[in-house]
Amino acid sequence: MQMLCCLDELKSFREEGISNYSTMLMRDDLGVLLLGAREAIYALDINNISVRKAVVYWRVTEEKQKECTYKGKHAEVECRNYIRTLHKMNDTTVYVCGTNAFSPICDYMTFVNGQLRLQGKQEEGKGKCPFDPFQRYSSLMVGNDLYSATSINFLGSEPVVLRSSDLALRTEFKSSWLSEPNFVYMDFVRESLDSPDGDDDKVYFFFSENAMEYDFYSKVAVSRVARVCKGDMGGQRTLQRKWTSFLKARLDCSLPEPSLPPIVQDVFLLKHKDWRKSVFYAVFTPQSSLSQASAVCAYTVSAIQDIFNEGKFKTPVAVETSHVKWVMYTGEVPVPRPGACINNVARKLGMNRSLDLPDKTLQFIRDRPLMDEAVRPLTGGPLLVKSGALLTRIVVDSVLALDGQRHAVMFIGTENGYIQKAVNYDGEMFIIEEVQLYEHPVPISTLRIASNKSQLYAGSEYGVVQMPLSNCSRYDTCVDCILARDPYCAWDFTIEQCVSVYSLSSSSNTAKQSLKEGDTSQCPQPDPVAAVDFTLVPGNNIQLPCQLHSNLAQVLWQFSGQTLHSNNKFFIYSGGLLILSASESDTGVYTCGSVEQINGRTYNRTVAVYQFTAARRPRS
């Protein structure tokens, strides 16, 4: 596959001596991207992140660093303050937490008159922010309540999903609730909106954990989605100050070849004005080294909701060998339904708060938080399966194309520092662009998208990079523009340029896209490609460049009408052809063609032509 973007379109930011640029908060209202790194928080210009507007350094005290090293951690690695949490509180204030040498701490930060300032109102960060700077975790601010999923102790052995508010709630310390989890994502869905059954808003979180439902000799991890209700106040006697609405289900994303369940690495919620149609896009990677294929699966909020609201539960049963097996629960389910939010059914029974729920309902959910059925992906299977470098992060944009249809465009980060831009047309997946963000291969650890600005921001250990969601001007000809199949781009026949669909007026009928068919029949015939003349010097290695315009095309080299393949004479690579140790028999015409298959049709185009003649021998 070929890289299409050039590095000069990208804007980047890093500061010498600072690493781990892993936390981002977009503040469009302030015109800045807030960026948390190791011991530093930056305010960067949201339109051009290479412009630093302000910085505040938040370093650990010597005392804290010593304390941390006494406990066996590395002074210069773990015993520093890694900024892991940035959440908007109000127009000027942000809530910020750091690992603080394995002693998490939080504070309030303001951005006023172009200055970043920590308020010095430090709070205990335990449970809000991880101890370990390299442990995955997730958090979310809903109103003034912080929801966080992390470990609450130094050893990382007490996982918790916590709400820090006037009424703090957390999960039970039971392995049936959370078993060595790895939290990756959290989001809020306003399900009370137009709810026919008077339901509550929900917080969903995604993680992987050790499976309790499988009978294996060794631990097997599975991917999960769980949720809690925003109005949950805990139980009166049972589940006091604990969630009464914590439910979890396995996520199904089955890969073509048989393997252990793939592990969820990142999730993005593409919101729809009807929340039932909102879709979670999730990246999965293999848990065994035998498989090299990553996948993207998508799940609708309504499919997840159906399993939690109507699905069967799993229940533990003791077996002779003194271990527990989890099977489908077939007994009677108490009313109100265990794990449900307070809704019209509960209110009719005189229960207006979770504190009013009967012990029978609460004891049931305390012992059985797992659903029997897995959540199936929207399309029945993965939207994308990709071998090679593993996928790490995902964001998704919804683009309104000229055909009036919305297309979900996925931007997926990889472990070697690339962004893959992918779109699914009628079940067929296309990676329409591949962009290298960093000169050296480094995993992309954070991705954020600003659809209104058509920009993407990616963070890694070494810095942060900003890239445009599309650059239509890169496609020089009508054929290039149409065959790119990029929903952001259309060919405008009046100005004879490939332009962004957002720049076209809604009444414009001079522009064309053909996303599903790739139909170039209306394009003018391109001028024939002029041959470049070369004189062949025997014994030299000769390099012939050829850059394909489309990421979906294959290269086809021909020499005097015969197709070439890589062998000990010719080497075909992504940027061209190498002729090794040329001789007179290599004189003739070399053509580089682009071959693209679209809906059973083949598009052949000549990209470059080279004419080789032998060097004249001097007369004796």
Burial of 493 (0-12, 13-18, 19+ CB in 10 A): middle
Q: DSSP code of 313?
A: B
Domain 136-386 CATH class label: mainly beta
Confidence tier at 506 by pLDDT (50, 70, 90): low
Residue whose C-alpha is closest to residue 371's, from 343, 339, 323: 339
pLDDT in tens, 19-74: 999 999 999 999 999 999 999 999 999 999 999 999 999 999 999 999 999 999 99
The confidence score (pLDDT) of residue 616 equals 67
The confidence score (pLDDT) of residue 617 equals 60
The confidence score (pLDDT) of residue 611 equals 86
Q: Please, are residues 603 and 478 in contact by the beta-carbon 8 Å criterion? A: no
**Number of residues in the chain:** 620
Q: Please, are residues 329 and 372 in contact by the beta-carbon 8 Å criterion? A: yes
Span 378-391, average pLDDT? 91
pLDDT in tens, 456-503: 999 999 999 999 999 998 888 898 899 889 999 999 999 999 999 988
Compute the distance between CA of residue 466 and CA of residue 13 in angstroms, rounded to an integer.
Answer: 9
Domain ranges of the chain: 136-386, 472-512, 531-614
45-59, 423-437, 603-617: range with highest mean pLDDT: 45-59
- Element (DSSP H or E) covering residue 578: strand 576-579
Which residue carries 């030299």 as its tokens?
540
The confidence score (pLDDT) of residue 572 equals 85
CATH number at 531-614: 2.60.40.10
Q: Please, are residues 177 and 149 in contact by the beta-carbon 8 Å criterion? A: no
pLDDT in tens, 139-166: 999 999 999 999 999 988 899 999 999 8
DSSP 121-165: --EE-BTTB-SSTTS--EEEEETTEEEEEEE-STTS--EEEEEES
Confidence tier at 6 by pLDDT (50, 70, 90): very low
CATH superfamily of 472-512: ligand-binding face of the semaphorins, domain 2 (3.30.1680.10)
pLDDT in tens, 330-380: 999 999 999 999 999 999 999 999 999 999 999 999 999 999 999 999 989
Q: What residues contact 268, with CB distance under 8 A and at least 6 apart?
A: 185, 280, 281, 282, 394, 395, 396
Q: Please, are residues 265 and 284 in contact by the beta-carbon 8 Å criterion? A: yes
Span 315-341, average pLDDT? 88
Compute the distance between CA of residue 110 and CA of residue 73 in angstroms, rounded to an integer.
Answer: 32
Span 271-275, average pLDDT? 94
